[in-house]
Structure 1
C-alpha cells in the first residue's frame, strides 16, 4: 500500500512524530511518504491558521507526483480535506480526526480526549460532535498551558503528564481515549502500557482504515 501522509503544519519535529506513528502501522510491501508543506503555520490553532494550512496542504499534494493509493491528512482539523478530495477524486482521502472518531464509534461506550493545550479543547470537542460521537464524549483533558514551545517535542517534554491525564480520564469512566493533535502522534504506543483502556492514535487509525478498503495498485 502506497500512502502520502501530510502533516498540515510546517513543524519538521511534528512531521517526524507522524512518520514514527505511521511506521508502527507498516506491513511488508508498504511505502509511506510523510511530508509537510513548505509554507504555513508551525501549529494550527486559529481559524486563520487552518485556512492558510488548507491552501498549503493542497499545494503539497499537487506537487507530489509519485504513485499513491491513498492520502492521510494528519491534523485533527482534517485540514485541507475538501480541497484534496477535489484534487484527487481517484483515491481515498482521510483525516486523522475522522479516523480516530470512527474507531471510537465502532468501539462504543464513553470516551475521552487528551491533548496538549487548553486552547485546543473547544476545537476538539467540536470535531467529536461533527463526527457524531459527541454524545459519547465525557470530556477533554489538557495540559495546563498554551505555551507550546516546539510542537515537535511537546510529547517528549510532557510524556509523564500526558500519561497521568490518560489515567485520570479512564478513572472518570472513559473506555477509550483519543490522543488529540498531530504533535501527539505515536505517543499512544509509548505510554499505552500505563493506561488500562485503549489509547487511540489518529494516524494509525487512518492508515488501518485505508488498509481495510479495497485499494488496487495504481501505476
Structure 2
C-alpha cells in the first residue's frame, strides 16, 4: 500500500517531521511519500494562508493522480479536502476529520489544542463541516506559531497548560491541533491522564483501513469528478 502525505505549507523540515510520524504509525508493507507544495505559505496561520495552501496542495496532488492508494492531508483545519476528493480517485483523509472521529470513539467530549488563537475559527468550521463539532468542548490555542513548534520543551509546556483548560471545559480526550505537533502525544499522554489523538497517525490508520476494505470516495454526488474545462494551475510559469 502506498500513501501520499501532503504538508500544507512549504517548510520542508516540517514535511520530514510529519512523514516520520506517518511512517511510525503505518503498518508493515505500507510506504509513505511526503509532499511539500512548491508554492504557498511557509506556515498556514489564518484564512489567507489557508486558501493559498489549499490551492497549492491541490496543484501538487494533481501531479500524482494514479500514483498512490490513498492521500493524507496534513493540515489541521486547512481548506482543500473537498476539492481533493473531487480531484482524486483514491480515498482522501484529512487529519482534522480523522482525529475528531477517533476522539469521539474514546470519550463523550474532546478538545483540540492548536497553535495560535487565530486558527480556532477555521478549525471549528472544519469540524462543523465534517459533522463532529457537536462533541467538541473547546478549541484552545497555545500561543505558539507553527514555526515555533521545533522547541520541544516550550511546546510541551504550552500544550500541558492548554490541556488543563481543556479538562476544565469537560474534555475527556485531547486532539493535537497541528500536524507539526506529531509525536507529542507520546510525551504528554501519561502526564495528562487523558487519551491524546495525533491527527497524522489517525489519518494514516483510517486511510489504510479504507484501502484494505476496498472503499473510496463516492462520485455519485458532491464529490463527482470536476467538470472538464481549461484550468490554469499555480503561479505564472509553474
Match of 1:189 among 183, 186, 189: 186
Structure 1 distance, partners of 2:4, 2:146, is 27
Return the alpha-carbon distance in structure 2 between the equivalents of residues 69 and 156 of structure 1.
37
Q: For residues 124-170 of structure 1, what are the alpha-carbon distances to aligned partners after superposition, in whole Å with 9 as ceiling and x for unaligned?
A: 2222222223222221222245xx27255255542222123224423
Residue in structure 1 matched with residue 62 of structure 2 by the alignment: 62
TM alignment of 1:60-99, pairs within 5 A: 60-64=60-64, 67-89=67-89, 91-99=90-98
Question: What is the correspondence of 1:19-34 to structure 2 with a 5 Å cutoff?
Answer: 19-34=19-34
Alpha carbons 1:99, 1:202 under 8 Å: kept: yes
Q: Specify which of 177, 200, 204 is matched with residue 174 of structure 2.
A: 177
SS across alignment from 1:100: helix
Aligned residues between the structures: 213
1:10 aligns with 10
Q: Which has the larger radius of gyration?
A: 2
Q: What does the per-residue CA deviation read over 1:47-72, in whole Å, with 9 as the maximum and x for residues that have no partner?
A: 32222212211221123377311000
| Partner SS for 1:126 | helix
Report 1:136-175 matches (<5 A).
136-144=135-143, 148=145, 150-151=147-148, 153=150, 157-175=154-172
Deviation larger for 136-145 or 188-197: 136-145
State the distance in 2 between where 1:102 and 1:149 align. Answer: 24
2: CA distance between counterparts of 1:23 and 1:81? 21
1:127 aligns with 2:106: no
- CA RMSD across the alignment: 2.2
Once residues 81 and 58 of structure 2 are traced to their aligned partners in structure 1, the CA distance between those partners, rounded to angstroms, is 9
CA contact (8 A) 2:9 2:44 kept: yes
Unaligned runs of 5+ in 2: 215-238
**Structure 1 runs of 4+ off > 6 angstroms?**
none
Partner of 2:236: none
- The secondary structure found in structure 2 opposite 1:150 is helix
Aligned-pair distance for 1:101? 1.5
Q: Would you say the 8 A contact 1:110–1:173 is kept in 2?
A: yes
